Amino acid sequence: MSRFKNKTARPVKNTVACPVCNETRDARHTVLWDWYRTYYCSNFVSMDTHPLPKDFERIVESFVRLFRPETGDRRVHTCQWACHVCLHEGRAVAGNYEKQYFGMGGPILAYTDLPRTCHLCAEPFVFNAHEQQHWYKDLQFIVDSVPNECPRCRIQLRREKELHQRLGELLKPIQPTIEQLEELYAIYTELQLTEKAELIQRRLKNKKTPW
């Protein structure tokens, strides 16, 4: 007789509070349960008849303990999850954790809109669920990474980077052409580098003035 014959999984609390809608849900109707069945039980655990196992209780407790949206810290990204109702009604977007790069964090089981404050302009902005999906699924950014700048400031930073790269190319010739000087003047003006723009303007005037 097997010594495991009479052993059964210990039943645990069957409900959890969804962090998105704050409603009490059956734990098996959340993405936590989906993730558990995929990675711990290979989907051999019955959805309806099997009592919730002990190790799943530890997983639930871990996610609930680490999910702290009120703190606004980076760990909020590594512990996101939601109930199936929130996914169905569009309050959350399912996270494809098989394509995420965890780093030192954990999987994002569901993406939700996250409020942020721009480090440059100090304006509030929203790191929305679909943008998160693009970051962590398509671009393969580490799940602990978050944007520190609002979309407008990020566009400006990218533009400044492009301008500085172009500056490096234009400054290479010892004797730049009039067209190159005009482009240099336009770039310095856009970057608000007044002194350098005035210097290029004088060089342009001297180059265009016939002797």
Q: pLDDT, tens digit, for every residue of 23-70?
A: 988 888 888 888 887 776 655 555 554 556 666 767 776 665 554 444
Mean pLDDT confidence for 126-145:
89
Alpha-carbon distance values, 103 to 24, 34, 95, 171 (Å)? 31, 22, 16, 40
Triad 59, 64, 65: Cα angle to 5°: 100
**Contact predicate 93/111, CB 8 Å:** yes
Amino acid (1-letter code) at residue 94: A
Q: What tokens were used for 23?
A: 């409603």
pLDDT, position 12: 46
State the average pLDDT over residues 124-144: 90
Q: What does the pLDDT read at residue 46?
A: 54
Q: Are 108 and 136 in contact (CB under 8 A)?
A: yes
Distance CA 41, CA 50 (A): 12
Report how far apart, in Å, the C-alpha atoms of 150 and of each of 92, 146, 161, 163 are: 21, 11, 16, 20
Residue 74, pLDDT score: 45
Digit-coded pLDDT (tens) for 154-211: 999 999 999 999 999 999 988 889 999 999 999 999 999 999 999 999 988 887 765 5
CA–CA distance from 65 to each of 62, 75, 105, 113, 187 (Å)?
Answer: 5, 11, 14, 20, 51
Banded pLDDT at 72 (limits 50, 70, 90)? very low
C-alpha–C-alpha distance, residues 148 and 65, integer Å: 25
For residue 32, the model assigns a pLDDT of: 83
Note the pLDDT of residue 9: 44
Encoding tokens for residue 76? Answer: 């909020």
Is the model's pLDDT at 73 over the cut of 70?
A: no
Q: What is the pLDDT of residue 37?
A: 78
More confident residue, 209 or 80: 80
Q: Is the pLDDT of residue 112 over 60?
A: yes
